[in-house]
Amino acid sequence: MSGKFMIYGATGYTGKLTARVAAEKGLKPILAGRNATKVQAVAEPLGLEWAALSLDRPNALDKALEKVDAVLHIAGPFSATSKPMLDACLRTKTHYLDITGEIDVFEACAARDEEARKAGIMVLPGVGFDVVPSDCLAAHMKRRLPEAERLEMGIAGMGNMSHGTGKTMVESISSGTRVRRGGKIVALGKAPRRTMDYGKGDSKSIAVGWGDVSTAYHSTNIPDITIYFEASKDMERMAGLGSAARWIMGTGPVQRFLKKQIERMPEGPTDEQRAASFTTLIGEATDSAGNVVRSRLETPEGYTLTAETGLEIAQRAAAGNVKTGFQTPSNAYGADLITEFEGVRREDLNA
């Protein structure tokens, strides 16, 4: 075991940030992506090894993965890129990590648990802000109320998005609001709403199809799960769309138009914006007797945290600190994993 890992997708916003943080920490990952010129431009100033690889050329991809013990896959949209990378990891017995927040990708990875166990690898999607803090919070709520039957979590402080995050959200427009009910993922025509106190009084919150609709269930077995974002004007408008409007926005021409508009936006938050921001997560678990526990988790800004959690888990996986098969962050490393990172504070509100 070499203890070496690859960052694939090193030329996007999150990939470049993660590569830079890795170099600052003295880590030596191999940087990779489709475009040789772009990968080289990221890697050489950082003194890192690099490779130009395409997911549709499995032979070259396999040869590159054979040099590492784990891959931190950052190239979205993961609806298109996760399967070919995971296929390659299964062939080469390389631990698979990614930073997806896409429900369908989590479920597709979970469905390959047996293949991963046979290959002796860990398949751990969602090692960034999606979904390390929220998954650890979900597991903490289950620990506080073991017989919980309903889990609701809220997230506030979501600032500027990268192009990749924006495109992923565009792809989900036509799906309705996805939640867990009775252990099953279902799409609601109308987004649930409620208020949550993120530390500054009650705030309007709107349900969203966040990755924890998948992962929190795998981590806790709580059958009813709903994830909320603190409401913004844009979210209010999106939540108000009828089924016909959502269908239209999910068609190919409209999807392409919306993604082109995203490309015209800034690539992501600046270093100064990230440093000045933080996120707040609320967890609320309820059992059949009506007992309720609530906890609050504060973390650094999402992209900042993604680089930190992704690199930490990549190092652990490359060193052999893994559980084989499909895993969630808390299943692999415990509910307290998130508390190991600088700038994170967890508080039980009704201990």
Strands 148-156 and 278-287: antiparallel
Phi then psi for residue 161, to 5 deg, are -100, 150
Nearest by Cα to 154 from 185, 181, 192, 128: 192
Token pair, residue 199, equals 């530390």
Q: Do domains 5-128+304-333 and 132-301+341-348 have the same CATH topology?
A: no
Q: Render pLDDT for 58-81 as a digit per residue (tens, 0 to 9).
A: 999 999 999 999 999 999 889 999
Per-domain boundaries in the chain: 5-128+304-333, 132-301+341-348
User: Exposed/middle/buried for 239, CB within 10 Å: 0-12, 13-18, 19+?
Assistant: middle
Which residues face 225 on adjacent strands? Answer: 151, 180
Phi then psi for residue 204, to 5 deg, are -65, 135
Please compute, for residue 236, the number of CA atoms within 13 A of its CA located in the half-sphere on the CB side. Answer: 5
Please compute, for residue 71, the number of CA atoms within 13 A of its CA located in the half-sphere on the CB side. Answer: 30
User: Exposed/middle/buried for 260, CB within 10 Å: 0-12, 13-18, 19+?
Assistant: exposed
Residue 65's CB is within 10 A of a number of other CB atoms, namely: 25
From the options 3.40.190.10, 3.40.50.720, 3.30.300.30, 3.40.50.800, give the CATH code of 5-128+304-333: 3.40.50.720
Query: What value does the mean pLDDT of the chain take?
Result: 90
- Dist. CA 28–CA 67, nearest whole Å: 13
Please give the pLDDT value at position 231.
84
> Tokens 């089924």, residue?
243
Torsional class of 312: left (φ above 0), alpha (ψ -120 to 50), beta (otherwise): alpha
Residue 57's CB is within 10 A of a number of other CB atoms, namely: 12
Segments of the chain with pLDDT less than 70: 1, 158-175, 232-252, 254-255, 257-267, 351
Sign of the torsion angle spanned by Cα atoms 98, 104, 108, 111 = positive
Q: Render pLDDT for 79-132 as a digit per residue (tens, 0 to 9).
A: 999 999 999 999 999 999 999 999 999 999 999 999 999 999 999 999 999 999
- The CATH class given to the 132-301+341-348 domain equals alpha beta
Please compute, for residue 136, the number of CA atoms within 13 A of its CA located in the half-sphere on the CB side. Answer: 27
Residues for the chain: how many in total? 351
